[in-house]
Chains A and B, each alone.
Chain A
């Protein structure tokens, strides 16, 4: 099964992080990504720019409205994601638990909907 691991944490904390902590985290992410490429879990993944860069778009009655900022204001913000192939939820949870961000933020593990014929 395919799962999307959504990485949430407090953006503020990351912005005020000491340089060496930031370097350490980047190195941890590189190492983790390498690991799950080797184990065959990795299908894709990216870090996201901070929510200040986000734009929300809606179309209502054929008219487009564009607003500044993320869709929802939450305590922890979406910071990145991995798309993984896992045997089952337990396997996906193991992968999620090893994402460096799991140590101070939260990882939401969501199964990808399989659409027949798609």
Chain B
């Protein structure tokens, strides 16, 4: 800390920028009715803060920034409207600059953040654009940061964001929280975007791992924000699921980048704070009595996370949760996971029958985990030759290097320990 008052104000403006710039932006978008205008206004408002706060920091910095941004935007539009008739029309809609400061009470500000999230994740926008726009507008990542995290070119990401903003304007996507009737479908889209961002950061698919981990933290931050604003059971469920997965992050891969399976992970290094928070959220979600797929997957992850050793895992509880999950989300992948849990509870032969039945239907023929799970059960049944064939079937279908190495290691491990 220096004694220089100007420096102190600069630091304060920086802090407010980090904590509040997205809220201010969300409100400016509502007041100005346009993303680009709002971004310019946000920038102007912070420039004004640097100029004016040394003379006295306002009591309510956020409200001050909203008013200053709106004022400067209208002023700018006025000046431009001399040359551009379309700008004049916007100025007319916005009303006089001298009108009283718009409503910026806390509740309204929080609603603006929800409006922004739902608008960025509107199903009329392509999925890629929903993700890029959410990371840009809600999380405040730069276009370059998004491009780096997704291994894309910055111009391509910028283009995606520009097109999305154009579609929001041209097709009349409203800046609002969806009606009660639309909420389930619309919330689902938001949760999918958050979970995709998380998984992009969590999966070892490609890219420098540090950057990817940032995506997971960003998704968890988004999940927390949404859980604060809209504590729906599935919002809590998704946040719990991400925290529980993330608690194992440090133990999922070896320093060489090899995958480590759940049974072989060093459980003493799992993040207990994240596990406790995740488990608490699962309970809160289930208590709301509208159970959905995210909460159920989180409940399953919590059972795993709370077992001190693999042998302590409550497989009966896990099978029960999979039974419910299969009812709300009847997909072959859920069926496969349930089969693996049944194998743990009732023995490998019971699980193998179920997996063979799923594969016989042809649903998961090209899904590598179906073959590797089968290989694992065959290994436990001491059918080494069949196990090897199953692992090779998985190997032929994986695309990611760490998965390939893991399967090769398991095939190599077979010849030593299993009878043929």
Contacts and interface: CB of A to CB of B under 8 A. Distances in A.
Interface residues of A, number: 12
Interface in A87-102: 87-93
A88 B172 contact: yes
A17 interface: no
A1 B85 CA distance: 20
B345 to A, nearest CB: 43
A62 interface: no
B174 interface: yes
A90 B170 contact: no
Interface in A73-116: 86-93, 111, 116
A90 B168 CA distance: 11
B40 to A, nearest CB: 23
Given A1-B172, A111-B170, A89 B124 contact: yes
B182 interface: yes
A87 to B, nearest CB: 7
B172 A116 contact: no
A24 B170 CA distance: 36
Interface in B141-188: 170-174, 176, 178-179, 182
A1 B172 CA distance: 7
A90 B171 contact: no
Q: Which of A87, A89, A111 has the most B CB atoms < 10 Å from its CB?
A: A89
B174 A87 contact: yes
A107 B154 CA distance: 35
Interface string A27-68: 000000000000000000000000000000000000000000
A1 to B, nearest CB: 5
Contacts of B124: 89, 93
Interface residues of B, number: 13
A3 B124 CA distance: 14
Contacts of A87: 174
Contacts of A90: 173-174, 176, 178-179, 182
Contacts of A93: 124
B93 to A, nearest CB: 14
Does more than half of chain B's interface fall in helix, strand or loop, or is it mixed? loop
Contacts of B173: 88-90
A116 B170 contact: no
A93 B186 CA distance: 13
Contacts of B176: 90
Interface string A1-14: 10100000000000
B105 interface: no
A77 to B, nearest CB: 23
A88 B173 CA distance: 6
B86 interface: yes
B171 A89 contact: yes
Contacts of B171: 89, 111
A1 B176 CA distance: 16
A90 B178 CA distance: 9
Nearest to A3: B172
Nearest to B170: A111
A5 B315 CA distance: 52
Contacts of A91: 174
A58 to B, nearest CB: 28
Nearest to A91: B174
Q: Which of B85, B170, B172, B176 has the most A CB atoms < 10 Å from its CB?
A: B172
Nearest to A113: B170
Contact of B174 (A3, A88, A111): A88
Contacts of A111: 170-172
Interface in B82-132: 85-86, 122, 124
A111 to B, nearest CB: 5
A91 B176 CA distance: 12
Nearest to B123: A93
A92 B182 CA distance: 13
Q: Which of A86, A88, A90 has the most B CB atoms < 10 Å from its CB?
A: A90
Q: Which of A87, A88, A92 has the most B CB atoms < 10 Å from its CB?
A: A88
A103 to B, nearest CB: 17
B123 to A, nearest CB: 9
Interface of B: 85-86, 122, 124, 170-174, 176, 178-179, 182
8 contacts: A89-B122, A89-B124, A90-B174, A90-B179, A90-B182, A92-B172, A116-B85, A116-B86
Pairs A-B, 8 closest by C-beta atoms: A88-B174, A88-B172, A89-B172, A1-B172, A89-B173, A111-B171, A89-B171, A90-B174
Given A89-B124, A89-B174, A111-B172, 13 more contacts: A1-B172, A86-B172, A87-B174, A88-B172, A88-B173, A89-B171, A89-B172, A90-B173, A90-B174, A90-B176, A90-B178, A91-B174, A111-B170
